[in-house]
Amino acid sequence: MLKIVVALLILWVVLSIVGFVVEGLLWLAVVGLVLFAATVVWGWLKRRTSSAR
């Protein structure tokens, strides 16, 4: 599970970087940052609930 979250985080960072570097793709950077934040929160919540067991 942790491998999937880390892979998604890396993917979102790459999309954000591409969005900031390529002119006209600022929307891609915003989407990447939003998805990065959502994945961090989701992974943190999943890890917190699985460690409570």
Using one digit for the tens of pLDDT, what is the confidence trace for 12-53?
999 999 988 987 888 888 999 999 999 999 998 988 887 766
H helices of 1-53, in order, are 2-21, 26-51
State the pLDDT at residue 52.
65
Output the pTM of the full model: 0.75
How far is it, in rounded angstroms, from Cα 49 to Cα 9? Answer: 20
Question: Residue 13: what pLDDT?
Answer: 92
Residue 22 zone, left/alpha/beta (φ > 0; ψ -120 to 50; rest)? beta
How many Å apart are CA 34 and CA 12, to the nearest integer? 9
Q: What pLDDT is stored for residue 36 in this prediction?
A: 93
Cα 1 to chain centroid, rounded: 14
Say what the pLDDT of residue 24 is: 82
Retrieve residue 8's tokens: 């998604």
Q: What is the pLDDT of residue 19?
A: 87
